[in-house]
Amino acid sequence: MLSRHSALALQGVSGGELEDLCAQAVQLRKQHYGERLTYSRKVFVPLTTLCRDDCGYCTFVQRPGSPGAKVMTPAEVMEVVQQGQQLGCKEVLFSLGEKPERRYQQARDALAALGYQRMTDYLAACCDQVLEQSSLMPHVNAGTLDEDELRLLKPRCLSMGMMLETMSRRLLQKGGAHYACPDKVPLQRIRTLERAGRLQVPFTTGILIGIGETWDERIDSLLLINRLHAEYGHIQEVIIQNFCAKPGTPMANYPEPSLEEMLRTLAVARLLLHPSISLQAPPNLQQRYGHYIQAGINDWGGISPLTRDYINPEKAWPQLELLAAACAEQGCLLEERLALYPAYQQQPGFVEAAVQARLAPLCRADGLAQHQCLAS
Ligand code: SF4
């Protein structure tokens, strides 16, 4: 494993040295994951586009009064879920803005009309509905959560997630990517990661590359995640996501990270993180699949045959057939996994009994998805 000192020294590594670094990362992936890459077949449910934060790169968030500002109804949620079930999806990813009811009357009114005061309570009810009326299993990505909220959601989902993004406080300053974002204060996100660890919630987190963080801050973010995993054992995957500049946002003209920058970061992440942590990179944000595989990733994250990537709506999901072919070119097999990685499926503290019972029919013996579906 890399030390912090060695990782810091790899800033700017390129050419043959970068190839050597990637080869080491691939070697480590092979030791722990064999010749297999995975993805999760899912539907994305943007439960609300309202959010109290103002991230400089975000087009998901909609301000009150704008046509896209809304809270989905239970019927709208289930329509997506039922269609996803017909298309072989196993996971519902609930993604939503952070605590909009604390800032906007429109959010409070929408929740009141549904019979709720807090978005988390409505989210929990939607998870219950999914479990009662479909074979899909929820994965919840609701941002920062307190202990009560995590306790409420844990029995209702297979896993949860929240990107750390960065541990840099500099980005909270005026002009920074996280200016005016109370939920992007690193300490708040670290506390959520710690609480999830104490409660044994299988958790996805990750870092955002190219939003103004330095190489050192990037390394320290990965080390922080690693430390939390060493203490609690709950980080099942880390996403390395490249920033994409979007028209109409304050960061529209901000430079995007290069492919080389991504490969360098991916390989270092593979070598820094505990190898039991799955390393994931979204395939729709950079279509150089073979390069990513050569940098040591073992997972592509969620891909949907139905719903778009609401966070990056301009980036279409890849054809699964193309992704499988790219994996095959690198000597790897693409396989479908569930929202809970095999290593966590038999750990009682991490899986509630009710969830485990629901999980069994979806799993094959090695913990990956029963009834694999690799068609778009
Ligand atoms: S990135 Fe997330 S937290 Fe930031 S404004 Fe968009 S929805 Fe809100």
Ligand 1 pocket member 237 (CB < 6 A): no
- 69 Cβ closer than 6 Å to some ligand 1 atom: no
Q: Is 232 in the pocket of ligand 1 (CB under 6 A)?
A: no
Q: How remote is the CA of residue 104 from the centroid of ligand 1, in Å?
A: 15
Q: What is the pLDDT of residue 38?
A: 97
From the CA of 184, give the closest atom in ligand 1: 3
- 105: which residues sit within 8 A by CB, 6+ positions away? 64
How many Cβ atoms are within 10 Å of 190's Cβ, its own excluded?
16
CA distances from 332 to 29, 41, 89 (A): 11, 18, 22
CA of 184 to the centre of ligand 1 (A): 9
How many A from CA of 13 to the centre of ligand 1? 32
| 303 CA distance to ligand 1 middle (Å) | 21
State if residue 210 touches ligand 1 by the CB under 6 angstroms criterion: no
Write phi, then psi, for 261 (nearest 5 degrees).
Answer: -60, -40
Exposed, middle or buried by CB within 10 Å (0-12, 13-18, 19+), for 83?
middle
Q: Residue of the nearest CA to atom 2 in ligand 1?
A: 97
**237 three-class SS:** strand
61: how many CB neighbours lie within 10 A of its CB?
Answer: 21
In angstroms, what is the span from residue 170 Cα to ligand 1's centroid?
18
Encoded tokens for 198: 């104490």
Residue with tokens 């069994």: 360
Q: Which amino acid is at 290?
A: G
Q: Is the pLDDT confidence value at 354 over 90?
A: no
- Quick: pLDDT tens for 158-202: 999 999 999 999 999 999 999 999 999 999 999 999 999 999 999
Mean per-residue pLDDT over the chain, rounded: 96
pLDDT tens digit sequence for 204-223: 999 999 999 999 999 999 99
Q: Ligand 1 pocket test: pick from 57, 63, 98 the residue with the most ligand atoms within 8 Å of its Cβ.
A: 98
The pLDDT of residue 375 = 75
pLDDT digits (tens, 9 = 90+) for 116-160: 999 999 999 999 999 999 999 999 999 999 999 999 999 999 999
Whether ligand 1 lies within 6 angstroms of the CB of 58 is answered as yes
Which value, in Å, is the radius of gyration of the alpha carbons in the chain? 20
Note the pLDDT tens digit of each residue in 86-124.
Answer: 999 999 999 999 999 999 999 999 999 999 999 999 999
- In contact, 76 and 95? CB cutoff 8 Å: no
The answer for 96, left when phi > 0, alpha when psi is -120 to 50, beta otherwise, is beta
How far, in Å, is the centroid of ligand 1 from the Cα of 321?
A: 32
Q: Ligand 1 centre and the CA of 101: distance in Å?
A: 14
CB 301 less than 6 A from any atom of ligand 1 = no
Intra-chain end-to-end CA distance of the chain, in Å: 37
**111 CB within 6 A, ligand 1:** no
In the reported structure, the alpha carbon of residue 98 is separated from the centroid of ligand 1 by a whole-number distance in angstroms of 7
Residues 6+ apart with CB under 8 A from 154: 160, 199, 201, 352
With the most atoms of ligand 1 within 8 angstroms of its CB, the residue from 44, 47, 48, 55 to mutate is: 55
- Decide: 97 in ligand 1 pocket, CB within 6 A: yes
Taking the C-alpha atoms of residue 91 and residue 89, their distance in angstroms, rounded to an integer, is 6
Is the separation of the CB atoms in 13 and 260 below 8 Å?
Answer: no
Residue 144 is predicted with a pLDDT of 98
Helices (H), the chain: 4-9, 15-33, 74-86, 105-114, 119-133, 147-153, 186-198, 215-232, 259-272, 289-294, 320-329, 342-345, 353-359
What is the distance between the alpha carbons of residues 34 and 40, in angstroms, rounded to a whole number?
A: 18
Residue 353 has pLDDT above 90, yes or no: no
pLDDT band at 371 (very low <50, low <70, confident <90, very high): confident
- Which of 376, 367, 304, 259 minimizes the C-alpha distance to 36? 367
Q: For 222-270, what is each residue's pLDDT tens digit?
A: 999 999 999 999 999 999 999 999 999 999 999 999 999 999 999 999 9
